[in-house]
């Protein structure tokens, strides 16, 4: 029997009446207003359904059983061990982090502490050989991060920073590096000695070694475009007008600013380029580019991350300040999703063995 005193409160009366009708009428459902979602912290996120849903993956493993996270670090790069897709490395503004279980738990490389790490690379032939660049130095561990050796240091210029490191997937002793002065370095003895093979006079922000031919290396700069070698650094694309990639980019205003290059691994010589212009595509190793139409107008937003499905080139992901975009038809149409993080979605990495699994690294919003 209903307590009639409850009906003196109008709000309770309404709820009670709805419940009463639900008891009488079959198929009646009481619907509550959805709760407002709250974006998560920085650090790392993992999706197992091609970007539809994300889970925070920022737990730190520790012997004391304390609840620790890397949710306050800004991620610069996420790297997957080329021979073990459960092993991940993070280059962050607060140290080098690694996970042995697909991001479920993280540990910090002790040597570097909370110092910024600019880049990390793993030997394709020996997973225990790991290279890290931090400050003015290049470090290598030959025993799975237990100990480290400083393989290169340049204190000739106080503001110099080594920005990039990349290992060759064909020649096991070849390693490439670059710095914020625009210099590209190469070692042919696993980092023991180095030589400068290119000077671009602009900050090098990416080194990309072609997955089909390691002699083909792309050097991406902050705002001076792209340089390419097809012979491991002996000659360069800007030495001849007919091979100069930057000339083909000139027709797309600001395409040489903030560029990031991604290889389409389903077709040789095919790449995607994100920049201040927007997105571009090439099918002939940069000799000719075409624009990919976006929802936003060209040159209207910053693109921070770009990824292409290595098994299906029609699937493309990119991100802006707080939005993730996805296309399943090569860029003809785009779906938009709010970023799961309060920070900027700064890096995407697809698991090549299961491309439904995507890792996203977030960085702090600029102040």
**Predicted confidence (pLDDT) at residue 10 exceeds the cutoff of 60:** no
What band does 5 get if pLDDT is binned at 50, 70 and 90?
A: very low
**Averaged pLDDT of the chain:** 90
Helix, coil or strand: residue 213 = coil
**Predicted confidence (pLDDT) at residue 14 exceeds the cutoff of 70:** no
Q: Which residues lie below 8 Å from residue 186, measured CB to CB, with a gap of 6+?
A: 174, 175, 176, 177, 194, 195, 197, 232, 233
**Predicted confidence (pLDDT) at residue 18 exceeds the cutoff of 60:** no
Is 12 or 337 the better-scoring residue by pLDDT? Answer: 337
Q: What is the pLDDT of residue 67?
A: 75
Per-residue pLDDT of 209-242, as tens digits, reads 999 999 999 999 999 999 999 999 999 999 999 9
What band does 115 get if pLDDT is binned at 50, 70 and 90?
A: very high
Per-residue pLDDT of 236-257, as tens digits, reads 999 999 999 999 999 999 999 9
pLDDT (average), residues 171-178: 98
**Predicted confidence (pLDDT) at residue 366 exceeds the cutoff of 90:** no
* Burial readout 322-344 (b: 16 or more C-beta within 10 A, e: otherwise): eebbbbeeebeebeebebbbebb
Pick the closest to residue 50 from 367, 360, 366 (CA basis). Answer: 360
Pick the closest to residue 133 from 174, 88, 180 (CA basis). Answer: 180
Quickly tell me which residue has 């140290």 as its tokens. 95
Between β-strands 316-319 and 323-327, what pairing exists: parallel, antiparallel or unpaired? antiparallel
pLDDT (average), residues 69-90: 97
What band does 40 get if pLDDT is binned at 50, 70 and 90?
A: confident
pLDDT (average), residues 30-39: 34
- Going along the chain from its start, the domains and CATH numbers come out as 240-359 (2.130.10.10)
Model-wide pTM > 0.75? yes
Per-residue pLDDT of 300-348, as tens digits, reads 999 999 999 999 999 999 999 999 999 999 999 999 999 999 999 999 9
Cβ 177 vs Cβ 162: under 8 Å = yes
Neighbours of 78 (CB within 10 A): 23
Q: What is the pLDDT of residue 2?
A: 34
What band does 101 get if pLDDT is binned at 50, 70 and 90?
A: very high
Q: What is the pLDDT of residue 39?
A: 66
Per-residue pLDDT of 291-307, as tens digits, reads 999 999 999 999 999 99
């Amino acid at each position: 029997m209903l307590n009639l005193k409850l009906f003196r409160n109008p709000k309770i009366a309404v709820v009670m009446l709805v419940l009463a009708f639900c008891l009488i009428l079959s198929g009646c459902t009481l619907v509550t207003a959805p709760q407002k979602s709250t974006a998560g912290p920085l650090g790392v996120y993992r999706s197992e359904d091609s970007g539809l849903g994300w889970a925070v993956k920022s737990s730190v493993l520790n012997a004391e059983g304390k609840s620790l996270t890397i949710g306050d670090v800004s991620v610069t790069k996420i790297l997957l061990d080329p021979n073990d897709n459960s092993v991940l490395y993070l280059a962050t503004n607060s140290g080098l982090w690694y996970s042995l279980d697909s991001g479920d738990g993280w540990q910090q490389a002790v040597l570097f502490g909370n110092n910024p790490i600019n880049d990390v690379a793993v030997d394709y032939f020996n997973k225990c050989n790991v290279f890290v660049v931090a400050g003015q130095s290049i470090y290598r561990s030959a025993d799975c991060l237990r100990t480290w050796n400083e393989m290169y240091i340049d204190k000739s210029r106080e503001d110099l920073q080594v920005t990039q490191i990349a290992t060759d997937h064909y020649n096991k002793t070849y390693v490439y590096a670059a710095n914020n002065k625009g210099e590209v370095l190469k070692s042919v003895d696993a980092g023991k000695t180095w030589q400068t093979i290119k000077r671009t006079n602009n900050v090098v922000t990416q080194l990309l070694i072609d997955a089909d031919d390691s002699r083909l290396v792309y050097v991406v700069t902050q705002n001076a475009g792209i340089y390419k070698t097809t012979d491991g650094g002996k000659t360069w694309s800007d030495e001849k007008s007919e091979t100069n990639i930057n000339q083909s980019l000139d027709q797309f205003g600001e395409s040489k600013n903030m560029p990031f290059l991604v290889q389409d691994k389903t077709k040789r010589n095919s790449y995607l380029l994100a920049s201040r212009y927007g997105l571009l595509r090439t099918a002939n190793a940069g000799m000719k580019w075409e624009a990919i139409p976006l929802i936003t107008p060209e040159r209207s937003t910053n693109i921070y991350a770009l990824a292409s499905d290595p098994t299906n080139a029609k699937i493309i992901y990119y991100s802006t300040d707080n939005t993730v975009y996805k296309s399943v038809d090569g860029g003809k149409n785009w779906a938009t999703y709010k970023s799961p993080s309060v920070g900027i979605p700064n890096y995407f990495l697809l698991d090549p063995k299961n491309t439904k699994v995507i890792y996203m690294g977030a960085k702090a919003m600029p102040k």
